[in-house]
Amino acid sequence: MNVLQKLVSTGVKTLPRNGLVRHSSHFVYQPDAKAPVEGPTQKMNMFQAINQAMDIALEQNESALVFGEDVAFGGVFRCSMGLQKKYGKQRVFNTPLCEQGIAGFAIGVANTGAKAIAEMQFADYIFPAFDQIVNEAAKYRYRSGNLYDCGSLTFRAPCGAVGHGACYHSQSPEAYFAHTPGLKVVVPRGPNKAKGLLLACVKDNDPCIVFEPKTLYRAAVEEVPVAAFESPIGKADILRSGTDITLVGWGTQIHVLQEVANMAKTQLDVSCEVIDLVSILPWDKETICNSVKKTGRVLIAHEAPLTNGFGAELAATIQEECFLHLESPVLRVTGWDTPFPHVFEPFYIPDKHRCLAGIRKLINY
């Protein structure tokens, strides 16, 4: 088989001028084995599943609004495509380029009882809205003595590595918000989770943030139920059972860990249990700790920097709850404590080679 035939067989349509192929993705997408609910399904990528979830929310709730920068024509990732045409300019509309304004407006809308779905164009841009989200939305129920709340408020934010995003379009800021009582934070791994989590957030009584790994918008394709369904917030998913080591991640990283589990079995004869945390706040302590007590070893991987990344909270809890069951220290494989780089992204992300080296270290401890 020549180079061109090999490229065609692997799905590459065109041959670059220099004859070389650049593989941007650091992961191989692993679709869910089965749909989350029974009934008719449709093949969708992740942005299409998110679009359908917002369509359902707008159809089911006459008060629901979708707004953000450029959402009227579909948004930079096309997640809201066609919604303004279907529901009108009063319900799907653009906002000024002002994240704190978007968040403040969203809080006011939600406080009236309407369903507010606000898009932050990139998770990197959410920081100007940090005060509104952390000091207003998250505390509204508490400081009003439960008279008022910001339930029915959902922020969507594309996050994570994408191959060329550099320091302003690649960050994973989930840990900042996980330190805030009153918020709920989730990260989908693919179309089914994206649709189910978004619909669950829209109905939740607390303000929610959905961090959507942007590299999965088109790379992730699954059979998704056409009907409305919700994925539980606060519940982790065991994607692969194992006996020797627990691998924990979320978002794109879960696909890296599934590939690493295969490599560990083939190269090291190590049986890995792979868990998608799914929900950062609240997180599923019971599922994680039960797995670690069974395997005795755990590796936590995330794209965000090491220091004070959310993996640190998992590691601290595992040490407290599972200490006598551990055969080796808790290991974190993460991004480095530097700004997210551009051309050096491949050296920054916790890819399969770094994770496999971590497994080897834990097994040989």
- Residue 11 clears pLDDT 80, i.e. is over it: no
CATH fit for domain 41-225, picks 3.40.50.150, 3.30.1490.190, 3.10.20.600, 3.40.50.970: 3.40.50.970
Catalytic position from the list 99, 212, 230, 259: 99
Q: Residue 163's pLDDT is what?
A: 87
Q: Residue 24's pLDDT is what?
A: 57
Q: Residue 148's pLDDT is what?
A: 87
Report the predicted TM-score, pTM, of the whole model to 2 decimal places. Answer: 0.93
Domain residue ranges in the chain: 41-225, 237-364
Catalytic position from the list 26, 69, 119, 169: 169
Q: Residue 164's pLDDT is what?
A: 87
- Residue 44 clears pLDDT 60, i.e. is over it: yes
- 99 carries an active-site annotation: yes
Q: Residue 4's pLDDT is what?
A: 35
pLDDT above 90 as % of the chain: 90
| Residue 95, CB-side half-sphere exposure with 13 Å CA sphere | 21
- 353 carries an active-site annotation: no
- Does the domain at residues 237-364 carry the CATH identifier 3.40.50.920? yes
**Tens digits of per-residue pLDDT, 324-346?**
999 999 999 999 999 999 999 99
**Tens digits of per-residue pLDDT, 276-297?**
999 999 999 999 999 999 999 9
**Tens digits of per-residue pLDDT, 249-277?**
999 999 999 999 999 999 999 999 999 99
Q: Is 235 left (phi over 0), alpha (psi -120 to 50) or beta?
A: beta
Fold agreement (41-225, 237-364): yes
